[in-house]
């Protein structure tokens, strides 16, 4: 069964360092999402791609976060510099299309900032 | 705006007990409604969904009915098992825009033998 892949699964870093997360969506899925899930809360959308284009990044803290999907397949989310409040689970999801299509989630990357 | 409010946990039940997790929503359009489940150490999995009023979603013995009059989508199961222990998230997708999901805060369910 096709799955969304994410790496690393766990990342520990010190504040002010740079971190990067990688996501490989299910083959053929044009839409890719990055969510942040703070402990005890539900996931919140950070950025949405349709192919290589950003559809929605209104909740992405652009002073320190960046995301790219250069070839419209896999994607990287970067944080520079990391802050203590960035400690969370970062989830990637993909769907076949943009409207009314089920989103499939990866296992997530748990980030701890010390 | 769009928001989801769900019953706070944690919920602890004995095996074979009846489960209800309440979920209510606020939406600007005509949303689709979802329940996702997150097992320990895993990503979110879609459990069930309903796309219009009075639809009933069902899967693995779980059910939820889209109630527009009460803006609710409560999750129920008649007889829970230990393997149902997980965190359950209610979510909506506003069909007037992109396929963004708005999640509730999650309810942790623990089923004891």
pLDDT band at A81 (very low <50, low <70, confident <90, very high): very high
**What are B27-83's pLDDT values in tens digits?**
987 899 999 999 987 889 999 999 999 999 999 999 999 999 999 999 999 999 999
Q: Which residues pair with A111 in a beta bridge?
A: A11, A88
**What are B27-42's pLDDT values in tens digits?**
987 899 999 999 987 8
Nearest chain B residue to A110 by CA distance is B41
Question: Tell me, what's the pLDDT at A73?
Answer: 92
Residue among B45, B51, B104 whose CB faces A42 most closely: B104
- A100 touching chain B per CB within 8 A: yes
- B93 touching chain A per CB within 8 A: yes
Alpha carbons B7 and A37: distance in angstroms, whole number? 18
On the CB side of A67, CA atoms within 13 Å amount to 31
Residue among A99, A105, A106 whose CB faces B99 most closely: A99
Alpha carbons B100 and A45: distance in angstroms, whole number? 7
Per CB-CB distance under 8 Å, the chain A contacts of B43 are 4, 91, 105-108
Omega within 30 of 0 (cis) for the link into A8: yes
Question: Tell me, what's the pLDDT at A98?
Answer: 62
pLDDT exceeds cutoff 60 at A95: yes
CB contact under 8 A, A105 and B43: yes
Residue among B32, B99, B101 whose CB faces A98 most closely: B99
Question: Tell me, what's the pLDDT at A101?
Answer: 73
């Amino acid at each position: 069964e096709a799955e969304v892949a994410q790496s690393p699964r766990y990342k520990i870093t010190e504040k002010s360092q740079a971190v990067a997360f990688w996501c490989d969506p299910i083959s053929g899925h044009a839409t890719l999402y990055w969510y942040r899930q703070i402990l005890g809360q539900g996931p919140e959308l950070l950025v949405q791609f349709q192919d290589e284009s950003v559809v929605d990044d209104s909740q992405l803290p652009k002073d320190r976060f960046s995301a790219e999907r250069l070839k419209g397949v896999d994607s990287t989310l970067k944080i520079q510099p990391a802050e203590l409040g960035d400690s969370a689970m970062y989830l990637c999801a993909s769907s076949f299309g943009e409207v009314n299509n089920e989103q499939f989630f990866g296992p997530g990357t748990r980030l701890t900032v010390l | 705006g769009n928001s989801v409010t769900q019953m706070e946990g944690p919920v602890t039940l004995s095996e074979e007990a009846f489960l209800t997790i309440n979920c209510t929503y606020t939406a600007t359009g005509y949303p689709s409604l979802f329940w996702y489940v997150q097992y320990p150490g895993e990503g979110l999995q879609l459990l069930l969904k309903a796309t219009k009023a009075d639809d009933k979603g069902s899967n693995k013995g779980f059910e939820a009915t889209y109630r527009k009059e009460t803006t609710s989508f409560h999750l129920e199961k008649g007889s829970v098992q230990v393997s149902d222990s997980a965190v359950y998230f209610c979510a909506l997708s506003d069909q007037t825009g992109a396929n963004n999901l708005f999640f509730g805060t999650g309810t942790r369910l623990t089923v004891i033998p």
